[in-house]
Amino acid sequence: SYSQSKSDCKKMNSQAVDSLLSYKTSFDKRKSTLEFSLQLLNDAIKCDNSFYIAKINKVTVLNELGRFSESISLIDNIIRSNKDSSILLIKAPIYDKLNKQDSVTITYKFAYKYFNRRIKDNPDDANIIYGKLLSQSKIYGKESVISEADHYLK
């Protein structure tokens, strides 16, 4: 039903991010600013349902609005459709806000397994190294990553 081009979808996402940034950097925290961002992102996703970054941005806006269960559902949808589990690093802190410590631990364990597999094929990818070390520290403690971090800082 949407006949917009991919560049229109990208413009909507950019406008939404600009609106979100103005909200985050302003002392005047109006919920309407976030609702505007959310509407633009919904439109961008309707325009292109495979628009990964718009979905990630929508997770951020939903979190800002305190709509955590919607955020978690969207994250699960992103993982299923994109096979990218790096977003688990966003999901775990949401569970923490909801005081679901078992879910926090399980989510970091899944993230750790994901990054551990990915690092074998991408040993120099800073995002993968970060994800592995962050999830490892959340599961096993900060001390567990100190010597390993030195290994990656060659």
pLDDT tens-digit map of 37-52 = 999 999 999 998 888 9
CB of 38 closer than 8 Å to CB of 61: yes
The pTM assigned to this predicted structure is: 0.82
Our CA angle for 60, 51, 40, nearest 5°, is 55
Stated length of the chain? 154
94-113 pLDDT per residue, tens: 999 999 999 999 999 999 99
Q: Is the dihedral of CA 19, 25, 27, 29 positive or negative?
A: positive
List pLDDT tens digits, range 123-132. Answer: 999 999 999 9
